[in-house]
Amino acid sequence: MGLEESTRTGLDIDDISSILRGHLPDCYQFNLSAPLHSETSGYLKSPGLKDNIHCVAYVTDACKVSIMPTKLEEKLNAIRRKVNLMGIPQLVLVTRVDEACPLVKEDVRNVYKSGYIKEILQEVRARLGVPVSCVVPVKNYSEELELDPNFDVLLLSAIIQMLLFADDYFDKISE
């Protein structure tokens, strides 16, 4: 389940707080009509470090950034503020960059040369309030039957960034 623009659809912001704090039981089935609460079966009242979230990654479509509904943008900003208060690092993966830009579709290695992709990354930064250094472009595998090292470099870069952010989080909490 992802985020939706209307209030009674998609993941509830209160559920997100419970997820971040590690209260979510294994195999929990989200309920659109009621967020997770302390009386839920399996609710972790005293979650350990292993249960907490150490890095938040938002995923958005490069082709839809400019048409993101205002309500969804507001929901994402509310979540980002909660995550910031908890000191959890966050980044945004911008997918389908090849579909958004013909230069990148021609050769995915052009992703950081494309002025249009740079504009999209800046728009994501402005709309979601994260530094542009935390906005990472990736190319989805969609129709390809074989792996492509050029796609993999972008995906690996995103994973490395997430791991570094999580590592920084551990450094901060251990101080």
Element (H, E) at 15: helix 13-21
Query: What type of residue sits at position 6?
Result: S
pLDDT tens digit sequence for 31-56: 777 777 787 777 889 998 888 899 99
How far is Cα 152 from Cα 18, in angstroms, rounded to an integer? 33
pLDDT tens digit sequence for 1-28: 577 776 666 677 778 888 898 998 888 8
How far is Cα 50 from Cα 4, in angstroms, rounded to an integer? 28
What pLDDT does 32 receive? Answer: 73
What is the distance, to the nearest Å, from the Cα of residue 154 to the centroid of all Cα atoms in its chain? 15
* pTM of the predicted structure, to 2 decimals: 0.88
How far is Cα 157 from Cα 162, in angstroms, rounded to an integer? 9
pLDDT tens digit sequence for 124-160: 999 999 999 999 999 999 889 999 999 999 999 999 9
Domains and CATH numbers, the chain: 1-52 (no CATH), 54-174 (3.40.50)
pLDDT tens digit sequence for 85-134: 999 999 999 999 999 999 999 999 999 999 999 999 999 999 999 999 99
What is the distance, to the nearest Å, from the Cα of residue 159 to the centroid of all Cα atoms in its chain? 12
* pLDDT bucket at 67, cuts 50 / 70 / 90: very high
Say if strands 90-95 and 135-137 run parallel, antiparallel, or are unpaired.
parallel
